[in-house]
Amino acid sequence: MKGSLTVLACFAAGCLCGLWGQFGPAVHDVSMYVLYLLMFQVGIGIGGNRQLRSLLATLKPRMLLAPLATVTGTLLFSALASLLLSQWSVADCLAVGSGFAYYSLSSILITQFKEPTLGLQLATELGTIALLTNIFREMMALVGTPLLSKYCGRLAPVSAAGVGSMDVLLPVITRYSGRDIIPLALLHGMLVDFSVPFFVSFFCQL
């Protein structure tokens, strides 16, 4: 929750700076370097996980069904959302949904990839939608985990958490779904995390 509010505060500060200041094309170059650093962070997060070796040792093929279900369900409902949002295409909605609660990376990717086709204003607007959508997903998963676990099964909080199942939301998932679900939650978060840049870039280029 605190991290999400920090991201929103930084975003608001950036909007104010852009409104009152004059920034040239160099801003685009800076944002690309930030994007590269975020991608580097993804690799560090996956490779530096201390439980990675033990996780790989307990890996079973059927555990892959959890991230597959998360990706499929998220993309399906993201596509259906385009029926209610006439301004945005199906591909745009799929790009937003492909963030899987990774709000910092997905919003930057969408803004960068959509700027050549939509223009800076619309690309920034879509990136903002992605930021808020994925923040709300994380917050709703955090607050709703007890109900999801009780009424929808132990795997529901893992799927709802998206990439957060391996870090931010892992403690609350463990509390309500049991400690034995930790390997699955870690694997789920890692695979979904790894898929974000690929799905977002793919749908942005359609």
Assign residue 180 a region (left: φ > 0; alpha: ψ between -120 and 50; beta: otherwise). alpha
Choose among 162, 168, 154, 157: nearest CA to 200. 162
User: pLDDT (tens digit, 9 = 90+) per residue, 157-189?
Assistant: 999 999 999 888 888 998 999 888 888 888 899
User: pLDDT (tens digit, 9 = 90+) per residue, 118-153?
Assistant: 988 899 999 999 999 999 999 999 899 999 999 999
Choose among 166, 6, 178, 146: nearest CA to 70. 166
The predicted pLDDT at position 56 comes to: 62
Task: Give the pTM.
Answer: 0.77
Cα separations in angstroms, 195 against 67, 98, 160: 10, 8, 16
In the chain, how many domains are there? 1
**Distance, CA of 168 to CA of 70 (rounded, Å):** 17
Longest dimension (CA), the chain: 54
User: pLDDT (tens digit, 9 = 90+) per residue, 38-82?
Assistant: 667 656 665 666 666 666 666 678 888 999 999 999 999 999 999
Choose among 138, 145, 182, 197: nearest CA to 162. 138
Containing domain of residue 25, as a range?
A: 2-204
Over range 78-99, report the average pLDDT. 93
30: three-class secondary structure by DSSP = helix
